[in-house]
Amino acid sequence: MKPAILVLTSTYPRWANDPDPGFVHELCRRLAPDYEVHVLAPHCRGAQRRETMDAVHVHRFRYFLTSGQQLAYDGGMLTKLQLRPWLALLLPLFFCAQLFSAWRLSRRYRVALVHAHWVIPQGLVAWLLGLLRPAPLVVTSHGADVYGLRGGLASYLKGRVYTAASAVTVVSRAMAEAVGAQVAADKLQVAPMGVDLQQRFVASAPLAGREGLVFVGRLVEKKGVDVLLRAYAHLARQRALPGLSIVGDGPLRPELEGMARDLGLAQSVTFAGAVPNAQLPQLLNRHAIAVVPSVVAASGDQEGLGLVTVEAMGCGCAVIASDLPAIRDVVRDGRNGLLFAPADAGALAVAIERLIDDDALRCELARQGGEGARRDFDWSGAARRYRELFATLL
């Protein structure tokens, strides 16, 4: 009989072709051959309360009336709370409902290990659950919980979770440095999520002859799409440019669409909206250059790693990205991509023009990027790291 593990998360596919990030499910389904995997995620309108996805047992907890369950999904909890502070009134209900549901599942399935994605709130729930039903606890931070949640109370709560955890994983070396003062060295591992670089995110179109720039991601402050629009507008005033596709949705979309119109880019910039994950490889293969213009948000939030960079590399795009600490785990300037100073539209414009004018360099960076991504970030290695970690704790 396979040992049961309980995965706590606030982001999980709600239905087939959900455009929200699916990396938690991708890890779970790769662990399912070795473990009986139960996922506890928030419910929302249109999602089933219980279902089995790729041999993963998914349970969704209600925390309010269906129409009012607006804390999770479609941009993430932290972004939603910043834009709509009144949603904080739902936090006690969310927390208690998740804890109660986790306790019931832990009893019912005799859970042998708990894996909490994000230190707050899931890690906090898992810590309290461990007081009721002790089990090894693995906590994984993806970035927003480390960078975006600051202050005395948040630091105290995160410290309690780190102390209770059997192991803490982060998705980049930069994050390991950020939490190193609070987490014992023998508990801390860098273990990024992966990308399917063998079958899905592969270069199916020739590198030479591609045109067009693409951004993929949520339209929130830390993604820096405004920087990209300013850089593109600067170049458009001087020369002909290939089109730019903005792929994704989020609370800043109306503002960014208005900015594009004001800059005279309505005919050359396309806002494609959210695209199902299954369609992303085809979309990326239609473009020559992927731009990752991330910035540090006013709240302090920033990229934990940025898997879209890896996905773009796998599909043969040359990558231009902000020189942020976590992104350096993926992009090495001049070797497998180009880096520019965060929030510097002028520097981004120079990098874009360089790749537009030098097709040989673009193709070489794309080739090196694809090789490095397959070596370092394929799901085969990512899942193996978590499988081995769980085995040491059981």
The tokens describing 149, both together, are: 């949640």
Q: pLDDT tens digits, the chain, 394 residues: what are they?
A: 899 999 999 999 999 888 888 999 999 999 999 999 999 999 999 999 999 999 999 999 999 999 999 999 887 788 788 888 899 999 999 999 999 999 999 999 999 999 999 999 999 999 999 999 999 999 999 988 888 777 788 889 999 999 999 999 999 999 999 888 889 999 999 999 999 999 999 998 888 888 899 999 999 999 999 999 999 999 999 999 999 999 999 889 999 999 999 999 999 999 999 998 889 999 999 999 999 999 998 888 888 888 999 999 999 999 999 999 999 999 999 999 999 999 999 999 999 999 999 999 999 999 999 999 999 999 999 999 999 999 999 9
Domain ranges of the chain: 4-194+379-393, 213-376
The distance from CA 31 to its chain's CA centroid, rounded to whole angstroms, is: 19
Q: How far apart are CA 241 and CA 273, in angstroms?
A: 22
Q: Which of 100, 156, 162 is nearest to 133 (CA)?
A: 100
Residue 145: per-residue pLDDT = 82
Is there a shared CATH topology between the 4-194+379-393 domain and the 213-376 domain? yes
Q: Give the burial string for 147-183 (b: 16+ CB within 10 Å, else e).
A: bbbeeeeeeebbebbbebbbbbbbbbebbbebbeebb
Contact 146, 175 (CB under 8 A): yes
Q: Reduce the DSSP state of residue 386 to 3 states and report it.
A: helix
The tokens describing 375, both together, are: 């070596």
Q: State the fold for domain 213-376.
A: Rossmann fold (3.40.50)
Cα distances from 138 to residues 83, 115, 127, 163, 279, in angstroms, run 30, 5, 10, 11, 32
Q: For the whole model, what pTM was predicted?
A: 0.92
Residue 83: per-residue pLDDT = 81
Q: Give the burial string for 261-297 (b: 16+ CB within 10 Å, else e).
A: eebebeebbbbeebbebeebbeebbebbbbbbbbbbb
Residue 17: per-residue pLDDT = 86
Lay out the sheet containing 289-292: strands in order across.
269-273, 244-247, 213-216, 289-292, 318-322, 338-340
Residue 390: per-residue pLDDT = 97
Residue 78: per-residue pLDDT = 80
Contact 319, 365 (CB under 8 A): yes
Give the Cα-Cα-Cα angle 311, 317, 323 (nearest 5 degrees): 75
User: % helix / strand / coil in the chain, to the nearest 5?
Assistant: 45, 15, 40
CATH class, 4-194+379-393 region: alpha beta
The tokens describing 123, both together, are: 């890690």
Q: Which of 292, 278, 350, 363 is nearest to 321 (CA)?
A: 292
